[in-house]
Amino acid sequence: MRKRVVIINKYGALHPSATGRPVRKLADYLWENGVDVIVLSIHAPYKGQVSQREEKLPYQTIELPDFYSGKNKWLRLIGNLIDGFRLVIYSMLLPQHQLKVVLTDPSLINAWAVLFRPFYRSKLVFWTMDLYPEAFASAGLVSCNHPAYRIISSFVYRHVPDFLIALGEQQYRYLCRQYKQSYIPHIVLPCGICPKEEAAEPLWRKANRDKIIFCYAGNIGEAHNDVFLLELIRQLDPEKHLILLRLYGAKAQQVLKEVSAFETVVLLDYIAPAEMQYVDICVASLLPAWNHVCVPSKVVSAICWGIPVLYNANKESEGACMFPEAIWLIPDFTELSDSILTFLNALSAKDILVRKEAAERYSQEFVGMEYTNQMNLLKMIK
């Protein structure tokens, strides 16, 4: 009899979002290794995109209708709480399964999963893409000293899952401290792992072969430092540097408004992942309040493409600890203008090459690590 696993996330295996892709990857792997898979999600838009329903997968995918997809942040929060409740309840009505893999989206779905745990027999696995309720405090929605926050946090961390899929060792250690455990069975599966593919040299590279090309492609939201990105752009030299911007998120419009006239800036509607290999340096950031709460997938993806990263974050953040030889760290406690000026003045072609080689090594290690960790999860299921 085939073992069965239910994977629960806001975005399903057919969705092009940052969490939909790893769901698809894990579901494909489990199915190919003889595990019956059901992916349970919400039919919700992400950056204007929805699931590609015309594609057929060999395993079952179920999408519940979205409760709310508007822009009002408080209604979105309520909608997320309701969607998380619906997903957990619906999963309990599915055929008996050995494992319930719950990604931490929608908000506080982890709380619903532990609240109803006495009513289901499957083992509980948390795949900690974002941490709740910490993300509420990091976003400034509530103080971590607020009674409601403390009650929810105490409830969530009083119930240890059977297994964790963490995005990195730093996040895993943080979770052990929160759960007051010296060890929790786990694997590490960073979000953002992707293959390096061949691509023709894009026009922006052909026209600027003599320049160092930076790139910020992705979300610039509440967890990211727009001040760092703006300061970097202000200090770039048009004779030496170029930066590609493909932005979305809460802070994107304000950044684009301020930098659209800069000579060093190229605005893109889309950049193919395969073309990223022609970038010299990727740019990313993580504000201190979000340390361990989320792990920027753009750092992981850049390393997979063999591209070093200019990273503004805490020295204990996942990206800084995971890839020390492939990043330039601009610490979160330093004066940004001075640190960026020092970085740009010292930057050389040799320095970029050394870090690119380090990124390639990390990328190769990822392949083996991902396979080993997936095998460990498979052993637990079987």
Residues ≥6 apart with Cβ < 8 Å to 139: 222
Extract the tokens encoding 249.
Answer: 């998120």
13-17, 45-49, 354-358: which range is least confident on average?
Answer: 45-49
Residues ≥6 apart with Cβ < 8 Å to 171: 128, 131, 292, 295, 318
13-17, 26-30, 264-268: which range is least confident on average?
Answer: 13-17
Q: What percent of the chain has pLDDT over 70?
A: 98
Q: Which residue has the higher pLDDT, 330 or 372?
A: 330
Query: What is the phi-psi region of residue 31: left when phi exceeds 0, alpha when psi lies from -120 to 50, beta otherwise?
Result: alpha
Identify whether the C-beta of residue 5 lies closer than 8 Å to the C-beta of residue 98.
Answer: yes
Question: 175-197 burial string, b = 16+ CB within 10 Å, else e?
Answer: bbeebeeeebebbbbbbbbbeee
Residue 50's pLDDT band (boundaries 50, 70, 90)?
Answer: low
68-77, 149-158, 293-302: which range is least confident on average?
Answer: 68-77
For the segment 346-366, the average pLDDT, to the nearest whole number, is 95
Helical (H) or strand (E) element with 312: strand 309-313
DSSP characters over 7-73: EE-SS-TT--STTHHHHHHHHHHHHHTT-EEEEEEEE--BTTB---TTS--SSEEEEEEPS--SS-H
- Domains belonging to the chain, first-starting first, are 4-189 (3.40.50.2000), 203-365 (3.40.50.2000)
Query: What is the model's pLDDT at position 93?
Result: 96
Q: What is the dihedral of CA 242, 248, 249, 254, to 10 degrees?
A: 60
* Nearest residue to 4 via CA among 370, 376, 382, 377: 382
Query: What is the model's pLDDT at position 247?
Result: 94
Three-class SS state of 246: strand
Query: What is the model's pLDDT at position 182?
Result: 97
Residues ≥6 apart with Cβ < 8 Å to 133: 108, 111, 142, 149, 152, 153, 156
Rg (CA), the chain: 21
Q: 163-166 and 186-188 as β-strands: parallel, antiparallel, unpaired?
A: parallel
65 φ/ψ angles, rounded to the nearest 5 degrees: -65, 145
**How many residues are there in the chain?**
382
CA atoms of 4 and 58, how far apart (whole Å):
14
CA atoms of 308 and 257, how far apart (whole Å):
27
Tell me the pLDDT of the chain averaged across its residues. 92
Helix axes 297-304, 349-381, angle to 10 degrees: 110
Query: What is the model's pLDDT at position 46?
Result: 67
Three-class SS state of 280: coil
